[in-house]
Amino acid sequence: MTERPQSPARYHSAAIVLHWLLAGFLVYQFALGLRLDELKGGDKFIAFQLHKSIGITVLLLSLARVALRLFVARPAEFGDGAQKLAARLVHWGFYAVMLLGPLTGWIIVSTAKIKVPTMLFGVMPWPHLPLPAAFNAAADLAHTVLVWSLPALILLHVAGVLYHWRLRDEVPGRMLPAGVAQLSGIGAGLVWLGASAGLGFAGPLPNLWAISPAPATAPTFAPEPAASEAVDTASAEPVPTESAAGADASVSCDWTVEPGSRLGFVARYGGDPVNGTFRKWQAKIKFCADDLPHASIAATVSLNSASTGDPSRDENLHGASFFDTGQFAQAHFTATGFKQLGAGRYAANGNLSLHGVNRPVRVVFTLVQSGAKATAQGSTTLSRLAFGVGSDEWAATDQIPDVVAVQFTIRATRAN
């Protein structure tokens, strides 16, 4: 008969690492969760994405902790029957929070009316669970109960540790790194929990999970060109200045868009600006200041190239609630009605086809031309709801206003 191996004096080093990692993550999650409702705009979106990412991380680490508990020997239980039962109940409570807390949060996200995609720390897409919407209310209630049980469990656990420290037994040291004195270890652990709570209450860690943070500047209707943003090969037409009027008939009215051109937009979320760009677009422009009746613009924009600097937000923007790029891959703008406003300013009356809706749009722009080079800067405002952009809960204008500003800077060269 095989003799049962003796229980070790301390927990395995992997269990100790997982214990303290999970303790920090759980306290941070709880503190950040208390802030979610009061955060606004981009901070709120970022905070929710981080909350989801850390929740999934807690779930994965907890599964690793369970596996370690099942297959690696741990120290023997300490104390009499009542002490053992109390310790078991607290530990079972922690496992319920660590496993069911993230799981119910995942169910809530997966069954929400508006399914915002989850990108794990802005890098890896995380799938939704294939569950019906009927699960949402029960999961939300369970999640709330689990969340508010966490501080009670932490207080009971800390009280138990301090009780054993007062008895001068070996229990607290079993979950401390080797060589660390009990008092020093307990103090460092409390500092770790306090720092985690402080970070959570301070709000989301700034952009650590975003590949490219979105600008947070106020809207501007004359944006500076972003030279790093490439535009698809296209022919476009920067408008000549008034000094070009009366140009020779042999001079071409066709223009070619150059790198450094930009097509962007500014929306607001929760009162804060969200700046975005379209990275793929092309335009054909025919324009001579002395022949405005024959001037024209034909632009095509790839909607799935819209970028706000946050992968999760961009995936939602491309989804069915907004651009629905699976059904409406492109937007088209055409204009033939040009008017000179004076002082290098022009207006173009055209038509925008977006999300299956066609509506008239007026664009105002300024032009600076030097020989065969020209730069046009302009803007317009659109009603997103008029084009059906923003469905279900996003059709409300309390978080995202109806008006969106569209801006462009075109650098171009006259065609030969």
Residue 188 burial (CB count, 10 A): 14
Report the CATH number at residue 283. 2.40.128.110
Instruction: Calculate mean pLDDT across residues 122-136.
Output: 87
| pTM (two decimals) | 0.59
Please give the backbone phi and psi of residue 351, each rounded to the nearest 5 degrees, phi first. Answer: -135, 135
CB 278 within 8 A of CB 306: yes
Instruction: Calculate mean pLDDT across residues 368-372.
Output: 84
Predicted pLDDT at 319 = 84
Is residue 81 assigned to a domain? yes
Residue 88 domain boundaries: 13-201
* Domain count within the chain: 2
Indicate whether 247 and 373 sit together in one domain.
yes
Is residue 378 assigned to a domain? yes
Indicate whether 166 and 308 sit together in one domain.
no
Indicate whether 153 and 248 sit together in one domain.
no
> pLDDT, tens digit, for every residue of 148-177?
999 999 999 999 889 888 888 888 888 888
> pLDDT, tens digit, for every residue of 205-255?
544 434 333 333 333 333 333 333 333 433 333 344 444 334 455 678 888
Structure tokens at 46: 């970022």
Predicted pLDDT at 336 = 86
Is residue 2 assigned to a domain? no
Indicate whether 134 and 262 sit together in one domain.
no
Report the CATH number at residue 22. 1.20.950
Is residue 281 assigned to a domain? yes
Predicted pLDDT at 396 = 80
Indicate whether 197 and 248 sit together in one domain.
no
Is residue 236 assigned to a domain? no
Indicate whether 260 and 409 sit together in one domain.
yes
Of 33-37, 249-253, 276-280, 348-352, give the lowest mean pLDDT range. Answer: 249-253
Nearest in space to 382 (alpha carbons), one of 409, 355, 352: 352
* Residue 130 confidence (pLDDT) above 70: yes
Is residue 315 assigned to a domain? yes
- Percentage with pLDDT > 70 across the chain: 85
Indicate whether 153 and 276 sit together in one domain.
no
HSE at residue 185, side-chain half, CA atoms within 13 A, is 19
Predicted pLDDT at 249 = 54
Is residue 143 assigned to a domain? yes
**Mean pLDDT, the chain, as a whole number?**
82
Instruction: Calculate mean pLDDT across residues 188-194.
Output: 91
Indicate whether 304 and 370 sit together in one domain.
yes
Is residue 6 assigned to a domain? no
d(CA 128, CA 117): 8
